[in-house]
């Protein structure tokens, strides 16, 4: 017999370009996805997906299953909401995943304030320098910074965020001239390897001409932890990219200096990601998102 988890699993596949892409979304291996898909097809006695070398397509039966399955999940969610005595109450467990630095300095304190306002909500905050959405242990909300690759998750912008090119005054004083992004080839660059972004491809847009320049750097130092790369730069070891909110204190103190200010790096908005299958959010999620949208920008701007 099919379960709601089987339906959720297949809807994720239906929204993906390939089984490999579906596996990345669910943080499992491609063979695992293929095996479970075969099990569902055996249960139904039909072929749901046509597999090609680099892509997939749904059969007529697969299209029907995805469409009807989405309707069933919606009905189940409606049923849960209708029979719940606490339908409108802001109560229950709330699971949040956040990037490490953002979580320590901003999200953690805001969660404490939120829980004080809504004491019937129990909040669990998990921090990671590479937050991932797990289909098996999915959070209510995952916070994310930067460009999001292929994803079926719902995206809600919480705060705008600029990235800056920075170095310590001690490095600038002893380094070659830097007047154009192409000059980075002669400089010590430090890369932050986070999410699925190409950490060594730095893109610059001239603020007046809007001309875009892409530079492939060769980092002398790299890490998956933002604080480590910032500490290296503070020690005069080279040039970094960092979110403006994360270096506000250093900029004000003069321990880091923005370089190439006439160029703009790609923005890295702070967003909340939610499951695309949940068409009606619980009250606790809606209220928490609203709280973050109101409080987070002011907190980031205040340093």
Structural domains present in the chain: 4-83 (1.10.10.10), 92-159+275-302 (3.40.190.10), 163-265 (3.40.190.290)
Cβ-Cβ contacts under 8 Å for 149 (sequence gap 6 or more):
195, 196
Q: How far is CA 181 from CA 51, 176, 194, 214, in A?
A: 43, 13, 22, 8
CB 274 within 8 A of CB 192: no
Q: Which of 19, 29, 31 lies closest to 58, judged by CA? A: 19
**Tens-place pLDDT, residues 227-268:** 999 999 999 999 999 998 889 899 999 999 999 999 999 888
**Tens-place pLDDT, residues 36-95:** 889 988 988 899 889 886 788 899 998 998 898 888 888 887 776 665 544 456 888 999
Distance CA 217, CA 202 (A): 7
Both structure tokens of 25: 């979304």
For the ranges 85-99, 127-141, 166-180, 259-273, the lowest mean pLDDT is seen at 127-141
The mean pLDDT value of the chain amounts to 87
CB 275 within 8 A of CB 220: no
Cβ-Cβ contacts under 8 Å for 3 (sequence gap 6 or more):
none
Enter the pTM of the model.
Answer: 0.62
Distance CA 140, CA 142 (A): 7
- The runs of H, that is alpha helices, within the chain are 4-14, 19-26, 30-44, 60-83, 100-102, 108-117, 169-174, 226-234, 248-253, 283-302
């Amino acid at each position: 017999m099919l379960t709601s988890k089987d339906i959720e699993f297949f809807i994720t596949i239906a929204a993906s370009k390939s089984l490999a892409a579906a596996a990345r979304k669910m943080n499992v291996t491609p063979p695992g996805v293929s095996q479970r898909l075969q099990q569902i097809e055996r249960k139904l006695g039909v072929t749901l997906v046509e597999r090609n070398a680099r892509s997939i397509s749904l059969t007529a039966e697969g299209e029907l299953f995805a469409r009807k399955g989405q309707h069933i999940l919606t009905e189940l969610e409606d049923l849960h909401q209708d029979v719940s005595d606490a339908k409108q109450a802001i109560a229950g467990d709330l699971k949040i995943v956040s990037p490490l630095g953002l979580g320590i300095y901003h999200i953690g304190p805001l969660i404490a304030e939120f829980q004080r306002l809504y004491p019937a909500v129990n909040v669990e905050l998990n921090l990671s320098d590479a937050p991932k959405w797990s289909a098996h242990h999915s959070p209510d909300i995952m916070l994310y910074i930067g460009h999001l690759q292929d994803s079926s998750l719902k995206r809600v912008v919480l705060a705008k965020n600029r990235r800056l090119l920075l170095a310590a005054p001690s490095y600038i004083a002893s380094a070659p001239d830097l007047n154009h992004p192409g000059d980075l080839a002669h400089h010590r660059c430090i890369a932050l390897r986070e999410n699925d972004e190409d950490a060594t491809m730095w893109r610059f847009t001239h603020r007046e001409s809007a001309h875009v320049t892409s530079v492939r750097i060769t980092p002398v130092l790299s890490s998956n932890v933002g604080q480590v790369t910032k500490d290296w730069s503070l020690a005069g070891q080279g040039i970094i990219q960092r979110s403006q909110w994360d270096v506000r204190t250093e900029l004000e103190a003069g321990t880091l200096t923005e370089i190439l200010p006439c160029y703009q790096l790609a923005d890295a908005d702070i967003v909340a990601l939610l499951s695309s299958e949940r068409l009606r959010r619980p009250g606790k999620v809606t209220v928490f998102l609203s709280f973050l949208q109101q409080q987070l920008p002011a907190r980031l701007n205040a340093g």
